[in-house]
């Protein structure tokens, strides 16, 4: 049962072959067994999950079930969920029980899905290895000495280890795609504005986007049907017709133009990664696709641009965590300024503080023009590169990450090395485009390799089609770690 | 005069929307602390701002009323600083692209001293921008701690910034009063200064004529015109004394203490914040179409200045009467409703309102909106004065009765028998009787003692029980006495 797809689970539930309570309990048992090793979940709350499962069973019995009714879905701990501890991976929110639901959470609740628990993540989504979480590092289920990637590392590990049917992630610079690649699962970052950010704790507001993580493109499409949609509470949410993301899954790929940016295949990429990606491209040719060489000349600037803009927004977004109204407050302080300083010094981890300082610096009087404004200009150039490229191709492909999963602690002392692990994913966020990662083989040490697929704005259905056809022809996505 | 005074104002007007500028929480004044603080007001993790269109509409009204340019595109920016009553750690405001650009306001200045005559002056308005208010820190009985009330947090404000065009406390007060009248007139602010709906920051500097601008100090948060005048007078004298004693004015923010009548520095330029303004990524740029502007223009009432001009030019009122009648929209509305189509009676109507009505309101401690008589009642009485039904003294009685007991002029005239005698036959008979009964006095009068005329009028009035039409009586009496 734990290897079943979402549509298989939905069918089994509707056919009463299994109840939601049984299915939920199965996953809860598996979490109880494996989470001590993987540390993929920060919070599980069997009582609340099973209460939802009972309600789902009633709905199933009444015949009013939707596609995901009764299916246990794990939620990244960045989403506020009513009655759930919502920590965002930080000590700062160690005691924050949300009084309200994020839009994404209420969409799942309305669909009758079960909230199976809150997954571990880099603190405030700042990290690429899940090592910055206040609740401890997450282990990669393929090799527990290695990182799962980040920041949605808990979600990626949970999906890979079959601790949930599917889960949510968020992606600011690659936080869905990179851990999906490193854990051998599928993940989609939609076009900016497709999923509401309401109730999703902000890291960098102009880049943050929620998306599904699962074991197949088909599962992602079903998740997107629930997660996507206009929400008037998010001013950057896009008002569009509701769409069925499964509609194009079975279209043939004959004539599909795949753009390969030469910049993505230059130095820096591991040879094992290159080999797997090339094999995937050969498979696509077999499926009828044609390869087009393209160039994204400004993409090399995306890491420095990102590390100006994201910290700038973060430094302001994280100001609300001041110990005044909720969250962590230092036990002792002498006056107001001291309370702020101690609460924030003790409540935030090193990476978060580093980014707050970078962001504060680039927004400061006298530096704003040189850093923030300049970065905004280059951001527009990066987006233009993609617009230009999409006149020549339908999708862009390349590696998701330059290497497979690295060892825990390996890049801990070198933030720049860590930042470079998102070198292929960041440009997509800066442009606001949809991007996904699907498993395409194994590299050194038998660790999974991810293929990145980048689409034009609102082309998620086509990307899911491109991924699904590959998954019909290969079985990388159904490989499971032995744990 | 040896010193020139330079004054500019920043006025925070609370916009009269029912809900906050970025959330649906109520803006009503005086509720129990934090009962109007929703998730957005508290700045819970994950919440997002959604702009209240009503606040924008009010900003447009203000811009149109001051002849300002309305920006088709303006931008909300974050002003970052830490304070316990600022829940997000930043205030959403507008910085380099405000919604309202340059405008102007023409004011009537009444000099405070000497025999100087009132004069007109045009004050340039630099800009007006939308922003949210902060909450309040309560230093009451909290066991030595500070309480925070976030009811006010997120209340919409329009900050109106003038050029430093004013050169005396009288001009500053006249400008503030004109602005106060205008914002109520166009219905964007209730103008309640006690409740903080209209708060003034005054920038003051002094210089010798011909010299560059002196260093300014900003008097914060003045909420009465009287305090404004006292604060400016004190501050100007303080700056002059400081310079004349060889000191230098340091740029600073000062507070006025109404108990001592003094201003005192609260922070100097050295502690000035670096607010690290940047565009708020949670809000799209504010787009205002020309259609919207025209639609708002169509709902604007005739403005005080236009009304004043019309009263002088079309109704023949004095500038003084016109300015008093347009000191509030309620008063102007009352005047126009009482006058109706009888424009030839404008002067007498104005006299009654500026005279009796205002005096009575004053005595009873009421404002125009609480006036116990309606404009229609007053108008009914004016009609009866004009058509000779009642005399002026009769009118006074009608007015007193109307004020105390209500009722239409006609009903009161009827009930009290106040109808004056305009039947010339009746008056002639009465005069004949008096002449024959006072032959001696008549002889004296005819021999040149003109002063006795009043004596005869008195007798005739008494005989008619005050009801004789005075003009008619005069004519008849004169004719008969002259024989």
> Are residues B204 and B58 located together in one domain of the fold?
yes
pLDDT at B208: 94
A199-255 per-position pLDDT tens digit: 999 999 999 999 999 999 999 999 999 999 999 999 999 999 999 999 999 999 999
Report yes or no on B84 lying in a domain: yes
Last residue of a domain, one of B291, B314, B338: B291
How far apart CA A148 and CA A151 sit, in angstroms, is: 9
| A151 in active site | yes
Nearest chain B residue to A196, by CA: B48
B278 closest CB neighbour out of A88, A340, A363 = A363
* Structure tokens given for B254: 């000062």
How many domains, chain B? 3
Judged by DSSP in three states, A277 sits in helix
> Are residues B404 and B443 located together in one domain of the fold?
no
pLDDT at A130: 96
> Are residues B67 and B191 located together in one domain of the fold?
yes
Inspect the interface and report whether the beta carbons of B89 and A365 lie closer than 8 Å: no
Residues A155-169: what's their mean pLDDT?
Answer: 98
How far apart CA A467 and CA A188 sit, in angstroms, is: 10
- How distant, in Å, are the alpha carbons of A76, A344, B181 from that of A87? 10, 15, 50
Q: Which of A19, A20, A49, A76 is catalytic?
A: A76
Report yes or no on B55 lying in a domain: yes
CA B379 to chain centre: 24
CB atoms within 10 A of CB B141: 8
In angstroms, the separation between the Cα of residue A243 and the nearest Cα of chain B is 24
Judged by DSSP in three states, A216 sits in coil
How far apart CA B457 and CA B476 sit, in angstroms, is: 10
ipTM entry: 0.96
> Are residues B411 and B444 located together in one domain of the fold?
no
Last residue of a domain, one of B392, B416, B440: B416
Task: Write down the CATH superfamily of domain A6-251.
Answer: Amidase signature (AS) domain (3.90.1300.10)
> Are residues B47 and B173 located together in one domain of the fold?
yes
pLDDT at B477: 85
pLDDT at A279: 98
pLDDT at A175: 98
How far apart CA B483 and CA B481 sit, in angstroms, is: 5
**Residues of B with Cβ-Cβ distance to A80 under 8 angstroms:** 44-46
Judged by DSSP in three states, A22 sits in helix
pTM for the predicted model, two decimal places: 0.91
% residues pLDDT > 70 (chain A): 100
Report yes or no on B405 lying in a domain: yes
In this prediction, the residues of chain B whose per-residue pLDDT falls under 50 are none
Last residue of a domain, one of B388, B416, B444: B416
Q: Which of A129, A175, A315, A343 is catalytic?
A: A175
B80 interfacial to chain A (CB closer than 8 Å): yes
**Crossing angle of the two packed helices A46-62 and A20-38, in degrees rounded to 10:** 150
Report yes or no on B318 lying in a domain: yes
A interface with B, Cβ–Cβ below 8 Å = 79-80, 86, 88, 93, 96, 98-100, 102, 197-202, 204-206, 232-236, 312-313, 315-316, 318-322, 324-326, 336, 340, 360, 363-365, 368, 372
Nearest chain A residue to B45, by CA: A201
How far apart CA A118 and CA A459 sit, in angstroms, is: 29
> Are residues B464 and B407 located together in one domain of the fold?
no
Report yes or no on B232 lying in a domain: yes
Report yes or no on B36 lying in a domain: yes
Summary mean pLDDT of chain A? 97
pLDDT at B270: 59
> Are residues B186 and B286 located together in one domain of the fold?
yes
Inter-residue contact B468 to B430 (CB < 8 Å): yes
pLDDT at B471: 81
Inspect the interface and report whether the beta carbons of A316 and B90 lie closer than 8 Å: yes
How far apart CA B216 and CA B204 sit, in angstroms, is: 5
**Residues of A with Cβ-Cβ distance to B281 under 8 angstroms:** 204-206, 236, 313
B88 closest CB neighbour out of A319, A365, A372 = A319
pLDDT at A380: 98
Three state DSSP letters for chain B? CCCEEEEEEEEEEECCCCECCCCCCECCCCCCCCCCCCHHHHCCCCCCCCCCHHHHHHHHHHHHHCCCCECCEECEEEEECCCCCCCCCEEEEECCCCCECCEEEEEEECCCCCCCCCEEEEEEEEEEEEEECCCEEECCCCCCCCEEECCCCCCEEEEEEECCCECCHHHHHHHHHHHHHHHHHCCCCCCCCCCCCEEEEEEEEEECCCCCCCCCEEEEEECCHHHHHHHHHHHHHHHHHHHHCCCCCCCEEEEEECCCCEEEEEEEHHHCCCCCCEECCCCCCEECCHHHHHHHHCCCCCCHHHHHHHHHHCCCCCHHHHHHHCCCHHHHHHHHHHHCCCHHHHHHHHHHHHHHHHHHHHHHCCCHHHCCCCHHHHHHHHHHHHCCCCCHHHHHHHHHHHHHHCCCHHHHHHHHCCCCECCHHHHHHHHHHHHHHCHHHHHHHHCCCHHHHHHHHHHHHHHCCCCECHHHHHHHHHHHHHC
**Residues of B with Cβ-Cβ distance to A98 under 8 angstroms:** 44-46
A382-395 per-position pLDDT tens digit: 999 999 999 999 99
A320 closest CB neighbour out of B51, B87, B284 = B87
Please name the residue that has the structure tokens 């949930």. A164
How far apart CA A176 and CA A186 sit, in angstroms, is: 9
pLDDT at A100: 98
Inter-residue contact A461 to A242 (CB < 8 Å): no
Handedness of CA B366, B372, B376, B380 (dihedral sign): negative
Judged on CB neighbours under 10 Å (0-12, 13-18, 19+), B53 is exposed
Nearest chain B residue to A372, by CA: B278
Give every CB contact of residue A117 below 8 A, 6+ residues apart in sequence: A31, A41, A42, A43, A44, A45, A49, A74, A75, A164
Report yes or no on B296 lying in a domain: no
The domain of B434 spans: 424-482
Judged on CB neighbours under 10 Å (0-12, 13-18, 19+), A410 is middle
Q: Which of A49, A98, A133, A151 is catalytic?
A: A151
Mutate to test the interface with A, among B20, B40, B45 (most CBs of A within 10 A): B45
Inspect the interface and report whether the beta carbons of A206 and B78 lie closer than 8 Å: no
**Which run of H or E residues covers position A406?**
none
> Are residues B45 and B170 located together in one domain of the fold?
yes
How far apart CA A53 and CA A46 sit, in angstroms, is: 10
In angstroms, the separation between the Cα of residue B262 and the nearest Cα of chain A is 28
* Structure tokens given for B159: 């900050």
Count how many pairs of residues, chain A against chain B, have C-beta atoms within 8 Å. Answer: 97
Handedness of CA B108, B111, B115, B116 (dihedral sign): negative
């Amino acid at each position: 049962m734990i290897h079943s797809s979402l549509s298989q689970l939905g069918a089994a539930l509707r056919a009463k072959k299994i109840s939601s309570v049984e299915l939920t309990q199965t996953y809860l048992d598996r979490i109880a067994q494996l989470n001590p090793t993987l540390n993929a979940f920060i919070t599980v709350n069997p009582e609340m999950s099973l209460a939802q499962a009972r309600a789902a069973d009633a709905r199933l019995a009444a015949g009013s079930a939707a596609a995901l009714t009764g299916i246990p879905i794990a939620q990244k701990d960045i989403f506020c969920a009513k009655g759930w501890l919502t920590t965002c991976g930080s000590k700062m929110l160690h005691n924050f029980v949300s009084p309200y639901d994020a839009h994404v959470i209420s969409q799942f609740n309305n669909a009758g899905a079960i909230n199976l628990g809150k997954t571990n993540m880099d603190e405030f989504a700042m990290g690429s290895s899940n090592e910055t979480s206040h609740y401890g590092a997450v282990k990669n289920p393929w090799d527990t000495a290695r990182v799962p990637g980040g920041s949605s590392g808990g979600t990626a590990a949970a999906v890979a280890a079959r601790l949930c049917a599917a889960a949510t992630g968020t992606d600011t610079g690659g936080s869905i795609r990179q851990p999906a690649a490193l854990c051998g699962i599928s993940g989609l970052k939609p076009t900016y504005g497709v999923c509401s950010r309401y109730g999703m704790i902000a890291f960098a507001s102009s880049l943050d986007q929620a998306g599904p993580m699962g074991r197949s493109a088909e599962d992602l499409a079903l998740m997107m049907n629930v997660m996507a949609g206009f929400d008037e509470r998010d001013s950057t949410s896009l008002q569009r017709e509701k769409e069925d993301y499964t509609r194009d899954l079975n279209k043939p790929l004959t004539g599909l133009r795949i753009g390969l940016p030469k910049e993505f295949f230059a130095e820096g990429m591991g040879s094992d990664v290159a080999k797997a990606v090339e094999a995937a491209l050969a498979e696509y040719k077999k499926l009828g696709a044609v390869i087009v060489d393209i160039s994204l000349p400004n993409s090399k600037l995306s890491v420095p641009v990102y590390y100006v803009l994201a910290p700038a927004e973060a430094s302001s977004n994280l100001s609300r965590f001041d110990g005044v109204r909720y969250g962590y407050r230092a036990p002792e302080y002498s006056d107001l300024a001291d309370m702020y300083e101690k609460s924030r010094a003790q409540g935030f981890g090193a990476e978060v503080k580093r980014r707050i300082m970078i962001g504060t610096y680039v927004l400061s009087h006298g530096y704003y023009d040189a850093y923030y404004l300049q970065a905004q200009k280059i951001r527009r150039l990066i987006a233009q590169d993609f617009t230009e490229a999409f006149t020549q191709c339908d999708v862009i492909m390349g590696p998701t990450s330059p290497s497979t999963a690295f060892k825990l602690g390996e890049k801990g002392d070198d933030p720049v090395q860590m930042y470079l692990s998102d070198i292929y994913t960041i440009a997509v966020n800066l442009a606001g485009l949809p991007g996904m990662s699907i498993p395409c083989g194994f590299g050194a040490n038998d660790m999974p390799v991810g293929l990145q697929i980048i689409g034009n704005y609102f082309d998620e259905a086509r990307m899911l089609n491109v991924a699904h056809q590959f998954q019909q022809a290969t079985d990388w996505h159904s490989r499971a770690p032995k744990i | 005069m040896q010193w020139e005074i330079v004054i500019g104002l920043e006025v925070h007007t609370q916009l009269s929307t029912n809900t906050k500028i970025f959330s649906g929480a109520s803006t009503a004044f005086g509720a129990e602390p934090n009962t109007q603080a929703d998730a957005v007001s508290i700045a819970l993790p994950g919440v997002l701002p959604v702009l209240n269109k009503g606040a924008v509409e009010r900003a447009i009204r203000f811009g149109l009323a001051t002849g300002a340019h309305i920006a088709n595109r303006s931008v909300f920016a974050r002003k970052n600083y830490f304070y316990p009553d600022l829940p997000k750690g930043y205030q959403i405001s507008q910085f380099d692209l405000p919604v309202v650009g340059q405008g102007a306001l023409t004011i009537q200045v009444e000099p405070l001293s000497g025999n100087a005559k009132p004069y007109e002056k045009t004050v340039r308005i630099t800009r007006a921008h939308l922003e949210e208010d902060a909450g309040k820190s309560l230093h009451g009985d909290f066991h030595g701690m500070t309480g925070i009330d976030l009811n006010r947090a997120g209340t919409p404000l329009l900050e109106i910034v003038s050029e430093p065009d004013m050169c005396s406390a009288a001009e500053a007060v006249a400008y503030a009063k004109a602005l106060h009248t205008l914002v109520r007139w166009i219905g964007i602010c209730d103008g309640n200064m006690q409740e903080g709906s209209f708060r003034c920051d005054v920038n003051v500097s002094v210089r010798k004529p011909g010299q560059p601008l002196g260093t300014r100090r900003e008097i914060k948060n003045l909420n009465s015109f009287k305090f404004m005048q006292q604060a400016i007078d004190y501050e100007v004298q303080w700056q002059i004394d400081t310079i004349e004693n060889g000191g230098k004015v340091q740029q600073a923010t000062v507070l006025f203490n109404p108990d001592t009548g003094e201003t005192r520095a609260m922070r100097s330029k050295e502690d000035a914040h670096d607010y690290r303004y940047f565009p708020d990524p949670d809000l799209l740029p504010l787009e205002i179409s020309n259609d919207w502007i025209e639609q708002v223009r169509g709902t604007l009432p005739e403005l005080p200045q236009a009304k004043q001009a019309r009263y002088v030019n079309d109704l023949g009122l004095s500038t003084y009467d016109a300015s008093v009648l347009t000191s509030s929209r309620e008063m102007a509305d009352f005047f126009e409703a009482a006058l109706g189509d009888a424009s030839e009676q404008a002067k007498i109507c104005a006299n009654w309102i500026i005279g009796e009505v205002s005096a009575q309101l004053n005595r009873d401690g009421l404002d125009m909106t609480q006036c116990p008589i309606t404009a229609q009642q007053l108008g009914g009485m004016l009609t009866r004065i004009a058509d000779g039904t009642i005399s002026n003294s009769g009118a006074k009685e009608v007015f007193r009765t109307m004020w105390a007991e209500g009722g239409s002029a006609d009903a009161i005239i009827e009930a009290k028998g106040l109808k004056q005698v305009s039947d010339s036959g009746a008056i002639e008979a009465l005069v004949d009787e008096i002449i024959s009964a006072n032959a001696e006095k008549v002889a004296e009068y005819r021999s040149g003692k003109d002063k006795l005329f009043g004596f005869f009028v008195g007798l005739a009035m008494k005989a008619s029980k005050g009801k004789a039409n005075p003009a008619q009586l005069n004519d008849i009496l004169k004719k008969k006495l002259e024989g």
